Amino acid sequence: MTAPSTTRPPRPAAPGTPPGADGVVLGDGTTARSRAGARWRRVRWLVVVAVVLGIGALAAILPAPTRSSTALAPDNPRGNGAMALAQVLGDQGVRVDYVRTAGAAVEAAEAGRTLLVTSDWFLTDEQMDAVAGTRADLVLLDPYLLLDRVVPGLTTGWSGGQQPGALDASCTDPDAEAAGSISATGAGVTPTGAEPPAGTTLCFPLPGSSPQAYLFSVSEVDDRRVTVVGDAGLITNDRITDAGNAALALRALGRTPDLVWYVPSADDLALDAGTGPGLGDLLPPTARALLLQALVVVLALAVWRARRLGRVVAERLPVVVRPAETTRGRARLYRTSRSYGHAAAALRAGTAARLARRLGVPASAGAPEVVAAVARAGRRDETDVRDLLYGPPPTSDAGLEHLARRLDQLESEVHPT
């Protein structure tokens, strides 16, 4: 298939196939082999580019990024990640489902699963309500506003800033007791009332806090277990091995076989983004297949129409030089500089020349002769004619228009007698 090409008018004789003695041309001097070769030479650069692009696309698609640098993410092997904890959980048979959107988290958080929320800083009110409304067990790391919605009666303060210190369980919760002592810091959880709400166990009291704050709380609310860890840094790769941190985290997160690991992101504002049915889901499968078929038909249509019956023949056209352009340019100069004098002089000279020719005044004649002849032929006053043909130049648009009108009038009135 030869690509349509534009060409200058052809050479008088075709190089490959000189016509025979009788002017007969048979074929174009090519064979299937030579045509294939020519095609290959023509498209090989395109092929190279296409292959390079294809390899690039494959490289972009295939090795999906298995590592990230997101803080507290289960695929982040750095110090601020939590890959170590996630891997140990996975080895213990817990399936970790890593999500970044509230919509996905809420959808995945069914009853009988555990939903880990690493922070609530980026959550909108609606998202917090949705997370609080799930039926899954919750593990909240350093919650702020979310805690109040999940466990009424508990609150947290601003945490962080201090070096982690050793804390003791000092409670009867089995998880806390198993951990024994942890290395953590934070503002901790405080009950809003005098007593913690019913079904709530508070552990790891923070020394020197008033009212007494606790780093860890477990509540049984609405038939689910809500665990709060006041220090999100506890599960990071850096600190998971400190003291009993690993035990506490593993026990808190490994209670159910399915763990939804939700790391909220700042750009996820909607609740149902990506979760609602798309346009494709709303179409019946027949329509989808037919659309695909229509695409194929359009492709065929394009192939049909794109193939030319021979190349476009171009032709060298003569240059276009408009001689009136110099005249127009001069007119524009007159106009921009408002040269009424020059314009009026040209109009007057033209009229005078035509009148003189018409009246048979010789070209060598001076102004007085022309004026006299015109006045005689037009039966006008000589001073009037002199003023019109040789008078002072106009100084305004209106003056020029007036002069032109009077000159035209004079020209139409004067005839040889």
Instruction: Report the nearest approach of other proteins to the CB of residue 388 (Å).
Output: 15
Of the pair 153, 393, the CB lying nearest other proteins is at: 393
Beta bridge partner(s), residue 219: 200, 226
Rounded to whole angstroms, the Cα distance separating 15 from 18 reads: 6
Q: CA triplet 79, 106, 236: central angle to 5 degrees?
A: 10
Instruction: Report the nearest approach of other proteins to the CB of residue 1 (Å).
Output: 5
Of the pair 158, 304, the CB lying nearest other proteins is at: 304
Instruction: Report the nearest approach of other proteins to the CB of residue 48 (Å).
Output: 24
Tell me the residue ranges of DSSP E strands in 42-88: none
How far, in Å, are 22, 46, 62, 399, 417 from residue 49 at the CA level? 47, 5, 20, 71, 87
Written as six digits, the tokens of 134 are 């799930």
Rounded to whole angstroms, the Cα distance separating 256 from 250 reads: 11
Rounded to whole angstroms, the Cα distance separating 99 from 125 reads: 19
Tell me the residue ranges of DSSP E strands in 121-213: 137-141, 154-156, 165-168, 181-184, 189-191, 200-205
Instruction: Report the nearest approach of other proteins to the CB of residue 23 (Å).
Output: 5
Rounded to whole angstroms, the Cα distance separating 199 from 155 reads: 15
Of the pair 265, 327, the CB lying nearest other proteins is at: 327
Written as six digits, the tokens of 395 are 């100084």
Tell me the residue ranges of DSSP E strands in 124-237: 137-141, 154-156, 165-168, 181-184, 189-191, 200-205, 214-221, 224-229
Of the pair 10, 65, the CB lying nearest other proteins is at: 10
Of the pair 67, 330, the CB lying nearest other proteins is at: 330
Instruction: Report the nearest approach of other proteins to the CB of residue 280 (Å).
Output: 12
Written as six digits, the tokens of 293 are 């078929």
Instruction: Report the nearest approach of other proteins to the CB of residue 6 (Å).
Output: 11
Written as six digits, the tokens of 116 are 């880990």
**What is the pairing mode between strands 189-191 and 137-141?**
unpaired
Coil, strand or helix at 248: helix
Of the pair 194, 317, the CB lying nearest other proteins is at: 317
Instruction: Report the nearest approach of other proteins to the CB of residue 401 (Å).
Output: 6
Instruction: Report the nearest approach of other proteins to the CB of residue 329 (Å).
Output: 8
Rounded to whole angstroms, the Cα distance separating 134 from 105 reads: 9
Of the pair 382, 401, the CB lying nearest other proteins is at: 401
Of the pair 208, 285, the CB lying nearest other proteins is at: 285
Coil, strand or helix at 117: strand
Cβ–Cβ < 8 Å for 147, 122 = no
**What is the pairing mode between strands 258-262 and 137-141?**
unpaired
Instruction: Report the nearest approach of other proteins to the CB of residue 39 (Å).
Output: 11
Of the pair 95, 328, the CB lying nearest other proteins is at: 328
Instruction: Report the nearest approach of other proteins to the CB of residue 309 (Å).
Output: 5
Of the pair 67, 354, the CB lying nearest other proteins is at: 354
